[in-house]
Structure formats: C-alpha cells, structure tokens
Structure 1
Amino acid sequence: MDQSLAVTYRNVAMPWNNRGMISSASPLHFPSSRTLSRSSHRAPLTTMLVAALALMIPVLTGCDGAQPTASPSTPTSPTLATSPLLRSPAPRTDDSPAAQATRLARSMSLQELVGQLVMAPLPTGYDPANLKDEIEQDHVGSVLVTGNWNGGAAAVGTATKALQGYAGDGPKLITATDQEGGMVQHLQGPGFDPIPSGVQQGARSVDDLRAAAATWGGQLAAAGINVNLAPVVDTVAVNRASNAPIGALDRDFGLDAQGNGAHAQAFVNGMRDAGVSSAIKHYPGLGGVTGNTDFTADGITDATTTLQSPSLGAFSTALEAHPAMVMMSLATYTAVDPHHPAAFSSTLIDGHLRGDQGFQGVVISDSLSAAAVSGIPQDQLGVSLIEAGGDLACISAPSVVRPVLDGLNAKAATDPGFAAKVTRSAIRVLALKYQMHLAGAPTARP
C-alpha cells in the first residue's frame, strides 16, 4: 500500500490492517452482544457501526476515484488527488560532478570549452600577469607552475592567488606542478621539504610513503597547487644508466611492476589525503627507451612493449587508486601503434586506457613543447591529442600556447565531429573541477 495512504489511514483512529481493512486482530471495542438483548440494544450497535463507516468514507473514496456528492451546506473533504501528502515529489536533479559539468558545458561557448583543454605554463620568474589575457579572454583553464622555483611557498602562493583571480566567477584553475622528488622537484625553498628520489621512496613501506606524500601534498596545497603531475609509474626494462628519461635520474620507484604500482597507489592516496590530485605517468611507460622525450626525438621508439607487457601492470595497479589524471608519454610503441606517439594514439587512449582499463578521468599529455614532437606543426598538437581521446594539452613553453589554442579553435569551428570531441573532453575536465571544488561543491542530495 502507498505509504502516504497509510499515513492518512492512521490519522483515523481505526484498527486498519495492512490492506486498509478493519483488522480482525484489533476489533472495534463495541459492547459485547452477550450482555445486551437483541431487541433493546440492536439500534445502538447499528448506530455505532454506521458512525464507524462514516469515518471511512472520506478516506476510501480517494482510492478508486469515486467522489461522494456533497451537501450544499457541507464542504467537501480533500481528496487523495489534492492532498499534500500525495502530491508527486519534484524530480531529483542529478548532482554528480559529471552531470553538473555537462550542464555547465551546455552554457559555455565553443571557445570557452576549448580553453578548458589547455594547460599554460608559468615558468619561474614569469609574471603571472602575462597569463591574464589567456585566462580571461582565451578561457585557459589550467596552469603549469614549472621551472625551479626557489623562493619558497610564499612566492608560489602569491602567484597562484593572482592566477585564480583572473579566472573570475567562472570555474577556477587547475594549478599543477611536477613535484616527484629527487631531481624533479620544481618547487623548493621555505615551506617545501626536500623530497627523496623515486628510488628512495620505493625503499619505504607503502604506509610510510603514503604518510610522507600527505605531508608533501599539504605543502603544495598551502601554496595553492591542487594537482601534482606525479608519481612516475614507469618500470625500467633496460639498463638504468641507458634509460635517460627515468632510470638514469632515479625517477621510478626502482622496483618490479607490482612494487611500482603499489607505491604509486600509496603516493596518489597520500596526495589525496592532503587535498591534492595526482597524474600518474608516463603511460604506457618510458622504461624501454633510451632517449629523453623532453630533449630529443631520437631513441624514443619502444619496439618491445605490448598491451600484455608486465610494465603495464604497474599502471593497472596505480589506476586502482583512482588518480585524477593519466599522463600520456610522447614515445612511440611500434608493437601497439607504430604510427603515433602515445599521446596521439587512439589505440592507446580510447582503445586501451579508456576501453580496456576503464579509466574515465582526465587524460593529459606530456609537454607538447617537448623535442619529441617538434616535427609536428604546433597548431596540430592539441588537435591530435583531442582526436585520439585525450583531454588536456600540457605546455611548458609560453610560445606554444597560442598556436595550440588557435589550432583547436579553428578545427572545432569547422568540424562538428571534432567540436563534439572538444565538448566531451571539456566535460571531463570540468567534472574533475567539480570533484576538486573548483567549479562549486556538488550539492548534497536530500
């Protein structure tokens, strides 16, 4: 029975059962017929039954839609159709981050959506005011704080506060940095503890690493950084000294794939404990190349990694910690997709990472101003990323931001299919911002 009906029935002081009938287990307490004579007391008993049935009429008439005829001098009782108890509740609004992001995206221009797909750099010594127009007019939605900032947390905090001010009333900025530890720690000075190398972190227990990462993350958060482009999840499969991007710099955890994945989980969880999101990198792994994609286009082809390689198991394990982002490498994996670097490979992004691995978060590129992709026209760098299923174009050189923005806007304006991909990617970025409370905290359900 409808619970609202049950409430109405209970308002009548009658012993109803769960079918809306008078319960035999709780009979009306009329005087016992054994103490009354049939002739002298039949009328009172009949009168009481009629009175009881009269109480039922206003309630029961609403169940089948029949309406009693009201006396002109007697106001009609409210029917079930008009009772406040039975009005249909207002439909609930889906307040999930993805739903809120979708609604927000519908209200944004195509240029605003494109801006959400670009992470512009703020190098050390660079005046944040130089990014004002890109944020206010081009709607750039993310900033990479890069280089060797030695002035400490106060200087970084001043810069990030200024940047967020340029975002105005719209979604706030993702402010990211590379704070891996060891030789890759872009923010230093008072307020930032020195962070040991990845190999040294790998020697710790996962519990100790999580606690340490929470401390490091808290220092980032205090300086206005909300995303750490770390940890490194690459598993070195060649001689460490010859693996220029990872092994030679001790950037990995120095373990096998299983150990690397477990320590990556601990790092991600520790950062999250401090309110900082993470990007695991460099998918599907730089442990099998000799060249450093940041500085060269030579030696950056991996001919051995397949989708079944153990090194990908480290990423699978790290993904169980639900990182906010996955960073794609700029190396080419000929056994998987011989024609595209990973960041531009739909086979790896849409097919494997999203399809096989089930990752639905933000896919970010390694720096599109790196030497590895210097042979590609700059205005096609962002386009190639979005075409493959990526979402966020990370750029570490200020001069590359304008060509990437122009290329994305031009393609989206003339290609409806590409514009749809821009929208999908922007929704993923905006959903992350809702999760991070950069676009308004998700409304609690009643």
Structure 2
Amino acid sequence: MALPLALSACSGDAGSDSSISMPDTEIMHGSLEKSAVPSVADDSPHGKAVRAVEAMDIDERIGQLVMVPLPAGSDPSMLRDLIVDRHVGSVLIIGNWDSGTTGVSAATSELQSYAPSNNRLLMTTDQEGGSVQHLRGSGFDTMPSATYQGTMDTAQLRQSAATWGAQLKTAGINVDLAPVVGTVTVDRSSNAPIGALYRDFGLDAAGNAEHAKAFIQGLSDSGVGSAIKHYPGLGSVTGNTDFTSNGILDTTTTLDGPEINAFNTTLDVNPSMVMMSLATYQRIDPDNPAVFSRSLITDYLRGTIGFQGVITSDSMSAAALNGIQPSDLGVRLVEAGGDLACIGAFSYVQPVLDGLKAKSSADPSFAQQVTRSAERVMTLKYSLGIAQ
C-alpha cells in the first residue's frame, strides 16, 4: 500500500554477499512446511525458531503474526499493552515523521523496551522514496522516487540504498517495506497505486527486477531487511487499494508472465518478506484477492516457486478489504499460507488478534498453521539478529 507520506501504511502501504545474516537460500526456498522440532545441535535460524515457538503458548504465537501501527505524533506507550500482554511482535512506523533519526530512534527504543530481551520487535516502515517516505528530518536523506532510482545504474542504486539503510538502522528500523517490484503495463497516469505516484522503477519487468535486487542488497549491506511488494504486481489496475474497492481487478497478469517473474527473480537475493497485493487477479484466482488466495500463496509461491520466508499483507485496514469483517482478516491470511498481518489503522488490531485466537481455539489444524507461520516470523528475527 502506499499512501503518500502521512497516510501510507504497510506498503504504501539481501543479497548473498550482505553484511547481515539473512535467511539461507535453503531456508527461504526449501521445503519446510512440515517442520519437526530439530535437534539441539541445529543452530540455524530456523532451528532456533522452531525451539522458540515450541516454548510459546498460543497467544505468544499469534502475537508474532500481527504488525501494529504507530502513527507520527503518537506516544509509543499506546502500544505497551499490546506488546506486553498480547505479545505483538512487529510495529509499523507510519505517517509524517519529521523528527529525524533522533526522534524516530527514541520511539523505536521505547517500543523495544516493552518486548522480551530475547525476542525484539520487527520494526518496519515505508521508505521507498519520492511520495512514499515516512521518515524525514535530520539524519534522513530526501530519497528520489523509485522511477528516478530506475535511471541509476544498479551499482549506484545499491550504494545509495546502503546509505538509506544505514539511516534507517540508526533510527531503529530493521525492515524497510520496500521496494515496489510491480511493472506498469497501462497508462501511467491511470495506474493510481503505482505509476501515477512514480513508485515503480519505470523499466520493463527485467529491468525492474535488477533494480529491485540492487535496492534489497543495499539495504542488506547496512543490516536492514526488505519486503518486495505488491505480489504479483499492481501495475495493471486503475484503483488504489488503499482508498477504493473499484478498479482493482487485474485482467491480464498470469503465472507465466514477465510481471510476476520479476518478483520471482528478485527472490534470488533473499528479501526478508513478500508483501501480497489486495487486488484480485482474474487469470490467477478470480475468487479471492491475492492476499487471501491459497492457490497463489500456498500452491504457487510456496509450492511451485519454493519461497518459505515470511509472507505479509498490504494494510488490512485498506478500503479494498472493507467488505470483510476485521476479525476474519488475519484468519484468511493464515489460511491462505501467509504469516504477518500488517495493519494500518489501530482500530483493527484487537479484532484481528481476537479473530486469530478464536479460530485457533476452535480449530487444531488452524492452530498448526499459526505455529508454522510463527516459525517463519521467528526465523526471520533470528536471521536479522533481533531474536536470541
């Protein structure tokens, strides 16, 4: 998702030679759906994650599957009870934060103080550049739009992204919900969520993938994770899913086309997450938006492509999902094979948590899905060094 500046949440909502230990390729792309508790000797991020989740109760596992918002100007203490009592494991820093790295760091440090010392928070933001840059002020560069970034050669973009990533890390951010990997296939001005806002790299699908890789690798060079979005692309719709449920049916994207292949190619450099689109794809799954499509997430992205990392949603409080009860949103994401419910509006947090708890209590098979999702989130945390 990508609301410009103050309104954005979630989407707008690492390379192999990176300086941080991102999930191993075999973890991200291997087959871990039926994970058993590994032996004590397994000190891989996944092995540690399985043991950590085994020690959690169901409420703690559910908490790892929810990303809650802290809007600019809000007191971080507003999230204390959610982190302490409901075990929420991720926070989205959204809005017009103009207090610089010092101000953002003060907020993220306070939030981290509420989390267990061995299981810190995934601290995320939307820092794409151009109209979607939530964090500004002293210590943050003014980032050019992604379309401008597409005019850079990839080495230059990687270097710039490393600088932007270092600024995020100084501010306490460990995952940037970027880059946009979608390819605009219609008139740019009519493509409200991406083209009209210059959020894409402005190239063909292959060029967008190469620039997305450079951006991801640059962030990773600075110890910051990334999220490719909005799978399988918002470049062929007219409506912005943040604001409307109209014009968000994609009639052209297919599983064998260059647009989705740009995303799949980008997985080679191990982004931390894949963020699912809220649009519906007629030629892939006409009955469900991508974020709730089991055929797209479990069968294709996890099964055919082999991605076993964290799958997050675009903002679940976006207008595109207004027809769905908030208590069903997290449930439907996990049922489809996703993991982390990104929420842009605070009023949705409690219903999403409660919905996940009720479903887990009533359905043992769903509770097992929650466990698998919590393992994937914790694997990422160990890989980023924020769980110990």
Could you tell me the TM-score, scaled by structure 2's length?
0.89
Q: What is the letter of the counterpart of residue 101 of structure 1? A: A
CA distance in 1, matches of 2:140, 2:194: 23
Specify the alignment match of 1:314 in structure 2: 262
Shift of 1:169: 2.9
Q: What is the letter of the counterpart of residue 329 of structure 1? A: S
Q: Runs of 5+ in structure 2 lacking a partner?
A: 1-38
Specify the alignment match of 2:319 in structure 1: 371
1:415 aligns with 2:367: no
The question of whether the paired residues in 1 share the 8 Å contact of 2:118 and 2:386 is answered with no
Specify the alignment match of 1:117 in structure 2: 65
Specify the alignment match of 1:132 in structure 2: 80
Moved over 3 A (4+): none
1:389 aligns with 2:363: no
CA distance in 2, matches of 1:411, 1:354: 23
1:353 aligns with 2:305: no
Shift of 1:182: 0.4
CA distance in 1, matches of 2:346, 2:375: 25
Specify the alignment match of 1:326 in structure 2: 274
Q: What is the letter of the counterpart of residue 253 of structure 1? A: F
CA distance in 1, matches of 2:118, 2:89: 10
CA distance in 2, matches of 1:263, 1:206: 6
1:434 aligns with 2:382: yes
CA distance in 2, matches of 1:427, 1:317: 25
Specify the alignment match of 1:159 in structure 2: 107
Shift of 1:92: 6.6
Shift of 1:310: 1.2
1:3-402 correspondence runs (5 A):
93-402=41-350
Shift of 1:148: 0.9
Partner of 2:182: helix, strand, or coil?
A: coil
CA distance in 2, matches of 1:190, 1:358: 41
Specify the alignment match of 1:64 in structure 2: none
The question of whether the paired residues in 1 share the 8 Å contact of 2:165 and 2:222 is answered with yes
Shift of 1:351: 1.2
Partner of 2:386: helix, strand, or coil?
A: coil
The question of whether the paired residues in 1 share the 8 Å contact of 2:239 and 2:246 is answered with yes
CA distance in 1, matches of 2:40, 2:91: 35
CA gap of 1:273–1:236, structure 2 versus 1, over 3 A, is same
CA distance in 2, matches of 1:207, 1:377: 45
CA distance in 2, matches of 1:309, 1:148: 37
CA deviations on 1:58-82 (whole Å, 9 max, x unpaired) are xxxxxxxxxxxxxxxxxxxxxxxxx
Partner of 1:320: helix, strand, or coil?
A: helix
Q: Runs of 5+ in structure 1 lacking a partner?
A: 1-90, 441-446
CA distance in 2, matches of 1:129, 1:341: 34
CA deviations on 1:268-320 (whole Å, 9 max, x unpaired) are 00000000000000000000100000010100000111101111121122111
Specify the alignment match of 2:19 in structure 1: none
CA deviations on 1:162-193 (whole Å, 9 max, x unpaired) are 00000033410000000000000000000100
Partner of 1:326: helix, strand, or coil?
A: strand
Number of aligned residues? 350
CA distance in 1, matches of 2:217, 2:254: 28
CA deviations on 1:194-235 (whole Å, 9 max, x unpaired) are 000011000000000000000000000000000000000000
Shift of 1:352: 1.2
Rg: which structure is higher?
A: 1
Q: What is the letter of the counterpart of residue 142 of structure 1? A: S
The question of whether the paired residues in 1 share the 8 Å contact of 2:275 and 2:312 is answered with yes
Q: What is the letter of the counterpart of residue 231 of structure 1? A: P
CA distance in 1, matches of 2:143, 2:40: 47
Q: What is the letter of the counterpart of residue 134 of structure 2? A: H
Specify the alignment match of 1:33 in structure 2: none
Q: Over aligned residue pairs, what C-alpha RMSD do you find?
A: 0.8
